[in-house]
Amino acid sequence: MAWRGAGGSAAPIGRRGGEGAGPSWAGGTRSGLGGLGEARPGGDRGLRRPPAENAMPAHKEKNSEERNHKNIQNDTQASQVQWGRAWEVDWFSLASILFLLMFAPLTVYYFIMSCDQYQCSLTDPLIDLLMGNKHLSDIWNKTPTLTYTAAGIYTIWVAFQVILYMFVPDFCHKFLPGYVGGVQEGAVTPAGVVNKYEINGLQAWIITHVLWFANAYYFHWFSPTIIFDNWIPLLWCANILGYVVSTFAMIKGYFFPTNAKDCKFTGNFFYDYMMGIEFNPRIGKWFDFKLFFNGRPGIVAWTLINLSYAAKQQELYGQVTNSMILVNVLQGIYVLDFFWNEAWYLKTIDICHDHFGWYLGWGDCVWLPYLYTLQGLYLVYHPVQLSTASAIGVLMLGLIGYYIFRMTNHQKDLFRRTNGNCRIWGKKPEYIECSYMSVDGTKYYSKLMISGFWGWARHFNYTGDLMGSLAYCLACGFEHILPYFYIIYMTILLTHRCIRDEHRCFSKYGKDWKLYTAAVPYRLIPGVF
């Protein structure tokens, strides 16, 4: 989800999110935690969502060489005020950040504790406390503590992912048709740097899971339930890593940044700590903090965590329910989609706009693996065996949601790559040409497609995403609200993101944006909203 400097494309192709204001995890791998005002454009996560705009790359009427040179100059000027997060902090942004720093870790703890001590009831702990049946100390004293076993597991896990990331060049692109891996270039940073990345996430995921199944069925080095059995002690390990890497990133930004011109300082400790100082912090040539922590170790672990939940269900009840299988399959598709498109992820806001701070460092270590896997955790405590009709319905909802999500993005990508010289649903796409002015007064033009899914709703990719998210939750039945946290959270997040994105687009395109919204009047659900 790339930053929108003057002369850049009107909207990048990415996963999940436009210029948001919340942490990318708060989505993953997937989405932000809500708005922090206009202080910082942000991403989402996680697995990331694309922006609202489905525009062509902006252009002006000059020859290619002169245009490119001018665009670089414009980007440099615009980046002084537009790129990354804020130079200054308003009171609302600061209050939001303090709130998240205090309550996001407590939220994760509360959800996990409620499953461990209250069979996944979110209300019973509060009732016990309000009625005086228990004190906070009683709940805390029953919480498993950090153990040497968990510390060893987590250390080995992170070290193994570092090895796969740093020292095993990608080979998947050599034999998988259509897959883009190996060394790839990212977008130009505000300082004019083009970073190179070793795209090998799919390979890391495959190697990790081959070893997991080899252990489960042949080597038996450890139990497949090892993650669930150490889930709360591992939470403390994840928190330690999240805070250590966030603190290190802040210190690095002050004293030995990778590129001083790609740093932003507000003078406010809390804002700089959470939102990050460095744009692309690196150690050496290849270890990129953002790509590693956004994509590994949390997202690689996502499917392993679900597999461990399934193994625990088998151990406890002698079977794996069809609801658990659905959660594993649907979320597995989502994770694989992320890694298949990892090269394309380099052009998303997460890499091209976000700085690296606590919201990525802690969020990708803790929020993503612990709250995006709540459905599987819930099903360990409350196994649900769906009827055949219900299981098929949930599966179809998830697959159709994924199809809409992927095809909507594909249509936008095709439209932009071909300058509109393509066919969408069998015919040449229609569009509205828009113009906007850069900071130096240069006029640029973009095209907003109104064909295909983009003619149905202005954010129909979000609609597909929400359908998939709902499918995860419906697989868990209706006994508790805990597994529905994800769809509630995503609905609030994406609705807010729609409104925020459109406000920015209106500010950018003015009357042309009004023409576009008149042609495509609905945001998410045709005929409704």
In the chain, where are the structural domains located? 144-385, 392-528
Q: How confident is the model at residue 502 (pLDDT cuts 50, 70, 90)?
A: confident
- Classify strands 287-288 and 431-437 as parallel, antiparallel or unpaired: unpaired
Q: What angle do CA 98, 100, 105 make, to 5 degrees?
A: 120
SS3 label, residue 432: strand
- Classify strands 194-199 and 182-188 as parallel, antiparallel or unpaired: antiparallel
Distances (CA, A) of 293 to 28, 299, 442: 10, 9, 38
Backbone angles phi, psi at 187, to 5 degrees: -75, 165
Q: Tokens 């989800």 map to which residue?
A: 1
For 317-336, the pLDDT digits (tens) are 999 999 999 999 999 999 99
Rounded to a whole number, what is the largest CA-CA distance in the chain? 75
| Residue 338 and residue 47 in contact, taking contact as beta carbons nearer than 8 Å | yes
Task: Give the count of beta carbons closer than 10 Å to the beta carbon of residue 170.
Answer: 21
CB neighbour class for 206 (10 Å; exposed up to 12, middle 13-18, buried from 19): middle
For 459-499, the pLDDT digits (tens) are 999 999 999 999 999 999 999 999 999 999 999 989 988 88
Residue among 422, 127, 101 nearest 242 (CA): 101
Residue 178 backbone zone (phi > 0: left; psi -120 to 50: alpha; other: beta): left
Mean pLDDT of all residues in 289-307:
94
- Amino acid symbol at 324: M
What percent of the chain has pLDDT above 70?
Answer: 83
| Residues facing residue 197 across a β-bridge | 184
Is the pLDDT confidence value at 418 over 80? yes
| Residue 308 and residue 215 in contact, taking contact as beta carbons nearer than 8 Å | no
Mean pLDDT of all residues in 58-78:
43
- CA 146: distance to chain centroid? 28
CA–CA dist 307, 217 (Å, integer): 13
Q: How confident is the model at residue 86 (pLDDT cuts 50, 70, 90)?
A: low
pLDDT for 57 equals: 55
What percent of the chain has pLDDT above 90?
Answer: 64
| Residue 317 and residue 236 in contact, taking contact as beta carbons nearer than 8 Å | no
pLDDT for 85 equals: 65
pTM exceeds 0.75: yes
Distances (CA, A) of 169 to 288, 502, 504: 15, 41, 40
pLDDT for 3 equals: 28
For 184-217, the pLDDT digits (tens) are 998 888 788 888 999 999 999 999 999 999 999 9
Residue 195 parent element (H or E): strand 194-199
| Residue 449 and residue 412 in contact, taking contact as beta carbons nearer than 8 Å | yes
CA–CA dist 234, 26 (Å, integer): 20
Number of Cα atoms under 13 Å in the Cβ half of residue 377: 29
CA–CA dist 226, 305 (Å, integer): 9
Q: What is the 3-state secondary structure (H, E, C) of 65-114?
A: HHHHHHHHHHHHHHHHHHCCCCCCCCHHHHHHHHHHHHHHHHHHHHHHHH
Higher-confidence residue: 30 or 403? 403
Residue among 332, 460, 301 nearest 399 (CA): 332
For residue 260 the two structure tokens come to: 């001083």
Task: Give the count of beta carbons closer than 10 Å to the beta carbon of residue 485.
Answer: 18
Q: How confident is the model at residue 419 (pLDDT cuts 50, 70, 90)?
A: confident
Average per-residue pLDDT in the chain?
Answer: 84
pLDDT for 458 equals: 93
Mean pLDDT of all residues in 124-153:
96
